[in-house]
Amino acid sequence: MPSFIWQRIDRAPLGAEQLLGFNVLRLDLIHGLAPGNKIFKLEPCIADAKAKGFRRLLSFGGAWSNHLHALAALGQRHGLATVGVVRGEPDAPLTATLAEAQAAGMQLHYLSRTAYRQRHDRVFQRQLLARYGPAYLIPEGGDCLLGASGCMAIGEELVRQMPSGASIILPVGTGTTLAGIVASLGPAYRVIGISALKGALDTASRVQRHLDQIGHSRDRAAWEICHDYHCGGFARAPVELREFLLSMEQSSAIPLEPVYSAKALLAAQKLLAAGQLDRSKPLVFIHTGGLQGRRGFDWLSDPGSVLQ
Ligand X SMILES: *Cc1c(COP(=O)(O)O)cnc(C)c1O
Q: Tell me the C-alpha distance between 272 and 174, whole Å.
A: 24
* Cβ closest to ligand X, residue 61 vs residue 133: 61
Whichever of 131 and 155 has its CB closer to ligand X, that residue is 155
Collapsed DSSP state (helix, strand, coil) of residue 73: helix
Out of 141, 165, 255, 296, point to the residue binding ligand X (CB under 6 A): 141
Q: What are phi and psi of 254, to 5 degrees?
A: -110, 115
Strand order in the sheet with 106-111: 106-111, 81-87, 56-61, 136-137
> What is the SS3 assignment for 146?
helix
Kindly indicate which of the ranges 35-43, 54-62, 161-169, 294-302 contains the residues binding ligand X, using the contact rule CB under 6 A: 35-43
String marking each residue 147-176 x if it binds ligand X according to CB under 6 A? ------------------------xxxxxx
> Which residue, 29 or 217, has its beta carbon nearer to ligand X?
29
Q: Would you say 59 or 66 has its CB closer to ligand X?
A: 66
Regarding beta strands 23-26 and 6-8, do their DSSP bridges make them parallel or antiparallel, or are they unpaired? Answer: antiparallel
Size of the site for ligand X (CB under 6 A): 18
CB atoms under 10 Å from CB of 204, counted, come to 18
Q: Please report how close the Cβ of residue 259 comes to ligand X at its closest, in angstroms.
A: 7
Our finding on whether 45 is near ligand X (CB under 6 A) is no
Q: What contacts 127, CB < 8 A, 6 or more positions away?
A: none
Which of helix, strand or coil describes residue 288?
coil
Looking at residues 219 to 248 of the shown chain, list those that interact with ligand X (rule: CB under 6 A): none
Q: Minimum CB separation from ligand X for residue 8, in Å?
A: 21
Each as own residue / partner, the long-range contacts of residues 242-249 (CB below 8 Å, 24 or more positions apart, any chain) are 242/299, 244/16, 244/269, 245/300, 247/13, 247/14, 247/16, 248/12, 248/13, 248/16, 248/19
Whole-number minimum distance, CB 86 to ligand X, in Å? 16
Site for ligand X in 285-304 (CB under 6 A): 288-290
Closest approach, Cβ 147 to ligand X, in A, equals 7
Identify the residue among 66, 95, 149, 167 touching ligand X (CB under 6 A).
66
Binding site residues, ligand X, CB under 6 A: 36-38, 66-67, 141, 171-178, 260, 288-290
